[in-house]
Amino acid sequence: MSKVVKNLREAIQLCKLEDGMRISFHHALRGGDLVMNQVLAELDTLGMRDLTLCASAIFPVHEPLVEHIKSGLIARIETDYMSGPVAAAISAGLLQQPVVFQSHGGRADRMRLPEYQVDVAFIAASQSDCMGNCSGRNGKSAFGSMGYAFSDAAYAKQVVVVTDELVEYPLADFSIDETCVDYVVVVDQIGDPSLIATGTTKMTRDPIQHQIARTAAEVIEASGLLRDGFSFQTGAGGATLATAQYLAERMKKAGVQGGCCVGGMTGYLTNLLEQGYFKTLLDVQCFDLAAVESLRNDPRHREITATHYASAAAKSSAVNQLDVVMLGATQIDTAFNINVHTDSTGRIIGGSGGHCDAAAGARTTIILAPLIRHRVPIVVDKVVCKSTPGQTVDIVVTQYGIAVNPQRQELIARLNDAGIQTVPIDELKRLAVRIAGEPDPVPHGTQIVANVLYRDGSHSDQIFACK
Amino acid sequence: MSKVVKNLREAIQLCKLEDGMRISFHHALRGGDLVMNQVLAELDTLGMRDLTLCASAIFPVHEPLVEHIKSGLIARIETDYMSGPVAAAISAGLLQQPVVFQSHGGRADRMRLPEYQVDVAFIAASQSDCMGNCSGRNGKSAFGSMGYAFSDAAYAKQVVVVTDELVEYPLADFSIDETCVDYVVVVDQIGDPSLIATGTTKMTRDPIQHQIARTAAEVIEASGLLRDGFSFQTGAGGATLATAQYLAERMKKAGVQGGCCVGGMTGYLTNLLEQGYFKTLLDVQCFDLAAVESLRNDPRHREITATHYASAAAKSSAVNQLDVVMLGATQIDTAFNINVHTDSTGRIIGGSGGHCDAAAGARTTIILAPLIRHRVPIVVDKVVCKSTPGQTVDIVVTQYGIAVNPQRQELIARLNDAGIQTVPIDELKRLAVRIAGEPDPVPHGTQIVANVLYRDGSHSDQIFACK
């Protein structure tokens, strides 16, 4: 018995994939992913049309998708994050149906609902056996945690594992097991893991970012959060990663050992684990090869599902246990709403990922951002896109000052007691205007190019085509 | 945030457990389990009535259940296996509603169906954190694989983890994760792991059993099954375990390395793993403490869910990959049907467990049994209870001869070519009668005390009250 079929085409045909269906992909290989492009090319050759693409994230490497939208192969997109040429094309109004933006937790929850059930999930795996027991931990294209793929495997009607390393049955070290797999396809290459790490997952060298990071570490300590066993998440993005380093220095001085880091993992965090700063890592996604290696070798570093990481519908998830999360922003408004979907001109350049999930779960959510970026104010009256609601955001740290959500008066008092000055967020906004000038109103078209869902599936905002 | 509640009573009350509901337990602690008794005592104290008990297995330690049936606390039982005083009481007609017997794979599949959804699952765990990430691998009461508990956790409306070792969040080495757990209860003791191993999971000293085991090993080699990578399951029960040893000798001589052992694990099998006879163990249940330790330490020894082990509804399960399974029997009939539910007089003494699952999945199913047990023929015209259908059984090995299912003519030829004589099964039956006399017809009452389901949920047989 074997589920291995000849190639992608045979798998697609055996799945009886038809026009109008929903297909899914996970993004663990990030900028190095080759599976989505291969599958879409094959679907195009087969003349498919009108598909819904449920991809946990879309990167510059997925540029061929632009042509597949033009040809009508892909008619609808649901995703958690989007950057590069596809994002630019969407912002320009290429896709008629608005993109549906979800959070990482929201995607896993939504996939479970019958009305959003995926018809065929294509799951990149760096090793699989002939029955579909598979993982991302080993193999020439090892990418680490399969975090986002578990919901696809669990809830899709049919599941195709796509691997470039077929191993003997059983792969004992499986992440996803054979019980939900229909077919296994062996391809030459599922991706290039060296391209997993990108700018957003690397440590910044920008001195302003480091200044913000140092301040954030100071704020965390002053907030009284640096206690034994405290748990912690850094988003991708330079300043938040740098904070981890500054925090470690303070932990060492204070003799504090943290508990758990949650979310996407980097070599910076695995170093902290190895050095004893933290006890465990709950890993939904490996942001670099050091994280992949740590996941493979260190039992304290554990792969978790997107549901376990960030679901709002589950009985609990790891983000609920966070003491602190540090996140980035492209815009922050005076109601503490955060934009991570578009730049200041409304062009799509990202997405929630786990941003709003972690902000909702954590006891303290700290946003790190420069006050001004490329001469444009980041703190504004109203964000172009509300990715994360202000009531889940506690502290904003910029290089020019720290603003605390007025809902958190006890936090303000605590910071002031520790000698840290805070300012009303309106003042940060005024300061930004004073330096960079009042931002021009954002001109936009009338076409809605994306609907942004909050993690519970409710409507959060919409994004218009750029002019 | 924590899901830890004061005690079982508080968990029961928070679950709003009501008369008529369905509750479940898993049996990894086997003869040492203390969780079911504690929960039922508490439910009784609270005056509950008319519950359905969905226990993956019931052992002598669960004797208090007899009183709980009498009191009306437990009105219906669904299980995969039953021995000891409860089985005796059921056979005597104590429970009005017939017991529903399932297989291990069938139970996992059935729990998924809305009409059989469990209301509250109580899951014994030897370690849990405050959010319910839990496992059986470590802790003072470590019992190993949680194989049978995964379906309870995944599909029950509410899940209560019962542990005697609360650990810091997160338990990185979890088996069941927090996303499906509602409450965590800490008790003094979940069980006595030294009582996991019982007679049926220990190596026999009976020379007849060893003779049968030696013959079975010879049959396996002669059948051409001893090739590199072959996979293998032994049921519990002395003769089948002994076969593993004799098989190892033949593997060594033939220079063959097996692939995978599947099912319940013992120290005999973990030794074979360590000595390189097999490459991996897929473990749904640890039958002794050596297996628990191996599961904890050896990455080639992997815990799997009951669904992964034996589901008929899943897209595949491990039993489908078996080259050989060796199973026991209390009766075998001339149509190769197997009884493992009752003794020859119709008294309930066991159940399918994974018997019919493995028989259906494996390429070759070998039944090992003495021709006569306590002067009663084991090979008979018609089994008292059809646990496993004859069309899934290939070979019967007794100390007086080997019978092969006539559907498998090529197997008969192969054995004969290898110089192994086979006999028609009718001849085994006649021989049994010649030695022990024609068995008396089994007198039974009219009350149906159990309905036996096949692994796909269809009706297989019924068991009557004993006279």
Residue-wise pLDDT tens digits, B140-179: 999 999 999 999 999 999 999 999 999 999 999 999 999 9
What pLDDT, on a 0 to 100 scale, did the predictor assign at position B442?
Answer: 82
**B202: confidence class by pLDDT, cuts 50, 70, 90:** confident
Alpha helices, DSSP H, located in B177-313: 207-222, 238-254, 267-274, 289-297, 306-310
B319 pLDDT above the threshold of 80? yes
* Residue A206, min C-alpha distance to chain B (Å): 34
| Residue in B170, B281, B320 closest to A280 by CB | B170
Q: B14, B257, B315: which to substitute to probe chain A, counting the most A Cβ within 10 Å?
A: B315
Residue A168 contacts B where some CB pair is shorter than 8 Å: yes
Complex ipTM tops 0.90: yes
Which one, of B307, B310, B315, lies nearest residue B155 by Cα? B307
Q: How far is CA B242 from CA A121, A284, B126, B236, B247, in A?
A: 44, 44, 30, 10, 9
Residue B318 contacts A where some CB pair is shorter than 8 Å: yes
What pLDDT, on a 0 to 100 scale, did the predictor assign at position B146?
Answer: 98
Q: Which chain B positions have a beta carbon within 8 Å of A160's beta carbon?
A: none
- Pairwise CB contact (< 8 Å): B305 & A173: no
Strands annotated E in A383-443: 395-398, 401-404
Which one, of B369, B289, B310, lies nearest residue B337 by Cα? B369
What pLDDT, on a 0 to 100 scale, did the predictor assign at position A467?
Answer: 84
For B279, the token pair is 């490459």
Residue B184, φ and ψ in degrees, nearest 5: -125, 130
* Residue A229, min C-alpha distance to chain B (Å): 9
Residue A159 contacts B where some CB pair is shorter than 8 Å: yes
Q: How far is CA A404 from CA A223, A334, A379, A424, B337, in A?
A: 11, 11, 13, 7, 74
Residue B157 contacts A where some CB pair is shorter than 8 Å: no
Q: Which chain A positions have a beta carbon within 8 Å of B174's beta carbon?
A: 302
* Residue A161, min C-alpha distance to chain B (Å): 13
B204 pLDDT above the threshold of 90? no
A194 with A289: CB under 8 angstroms?
Answer: yes
- Pairwise CB contact (< 8 Å): A177 & B280: no
| Residue in A260, A314, A320 closest to B1 by CB | A320
Looking at the DSSP bridge assignments, the partners of residue A134 are A128, A176
What pLDDT, on a 0 to 100 scale, did the predictor assign at position A48?
Answer: 98
Q: How many CB atoms lie within 10 A of CB A374?
A: 9
What pLDDT, on a 0 to 100 scale, did the predictor assign at position B201?
Answer: 67
The series of mean pLDDT values per 10 residues for chain A, 467 residues long, is: 96 98 98 98 98 98 98 98 98 97 98 97 98 98 98 98 98 98 98 88 83 95 94 82 90 95 94 96 96 97 98 98 96 98 96 97 96 94 97 97 97 96 97 92 92 98 95
- Pairwise CB contact (< 8 Å): A177 & B305: yes
Q: Which chain B positions have a beta carbon within 8 Å of A302's beta carbon?
A: 170, 172-174
Residue A173 contacts B where some CB pair is shorter than 8 Å: yes
What pLDDT, on a 0 to 100 scale, did the predictor assign at position A364?
Answer: 97
Q: Which chain A positions have a beta carbon within 8 Å of B314's beta carbon?
A: 178-180
Residue A449 contacts B where some CB pair is shorter than 8 Å: no
Alpha helices, DSSP H, located in B275-354: 289-297, 306-310
Q: Which chain A positions have a beta carbon within 8 Å of B304's beta carbon?
A: 177
Residue B84, φ and ψ in degrees, nearest 5: 80, -160
Strands annotated E in A331-439: 331-333, 338-339, 364-368, 372-373, 376-377, 379-380, 395-398, 401-404
Q: What angle do CA A269, A274, A277 make, to 5 degrees?
A: 70
The structure's pTM equals 0.97
Residue B170 contacts A where some CB pair is shorter than 8 Å: yes
How crowded is the C-beta side of B335, counted as CA atoms within 13 Å? 13
| Residue in B178, B259, B311 closest to A316 by CB | B178
* Residue B132, min C-alpha distance to chain A (Å): 9
Distance (Å, rounded) from C-alpha B201 to C-alpha B265? 9
**B196: confidence class by pLDDT, cuts 50, 70, 90:** very high
Distance (Å, rounded) from C-alpha A228 to C-alpha B168? 11
String of DSSP letters for B372-386:
EETTEESEESS-SS-
What pLDDT, on a 0 to 100 scale, did the predictor assign at position B439?
Answer: 83
- Pairwise CB contact (< 8 Å): A229 & B308: no
Residue A282 contacts B where some CB pair is shorter than 8 Å: yes
Residue A379 contacts B where some CB pair is shorter than 8 Å: no
B78 with B102: CB under 8 angstroms?
Answer: yes
Q: Which chain B positions have a beta carbon within 8 Å of A169's beta carbon?
A: 231, 259-260, 321
**Residue A3's closest chain B neighbor by CA?**
B316
The length of chain B, given as a count of residues: 467
| Residue in B1, B181, B280 closest to A321 by CB | B1
**B411: confidence class by pLDDT, cuts 50, 70, 90:** very high
Provide the greatest CA pair distance for chain B: 70
B203 pLDDT above the threshold of 80? no
Residue A217 contacts B where some CB pair is shorter than 8 Å: no
The region that residue A374 occupies, defined by phi over 0 for left and psi between -120 and 50 for alpha, beta otherwise, is left
* Residue B455, min C-alpha distance to chain A (Å): 16
The residues, any chain, with a CB within 8 Å of residue A466's CB and separated by 6 or more, are A91, A92, A93, A345, A346, A347, A444, A445
Residue A178 gets which letter from DSSP?
G
Residue B80 gets which letter from DSSP?
S
Q: Which chain A positions have a beta carbon within 8 Å of B259's beta carbon?
A: 168-170
Distance (Å, rounded) from C-alpha B266 to C-alpha B262? 11
For B356-388, write each residue's pLDDT tens digit.
999 999 999 999 999 999 899 999 999 999 999
- Pairwise CB contact (< 8 Å): A180 & B317: no
Q: Which chain B positions have a beta carbon within 8 Å of A258's beta carbon?
A: none
* Residue B463, min C-alpha distance to chain A (Å): 32
Which one, of B170, B346, B201, B378, lies nearest residue A301 by Cα? B170
- Pairwise CB contact (< 8 Å): A259 & B229: no
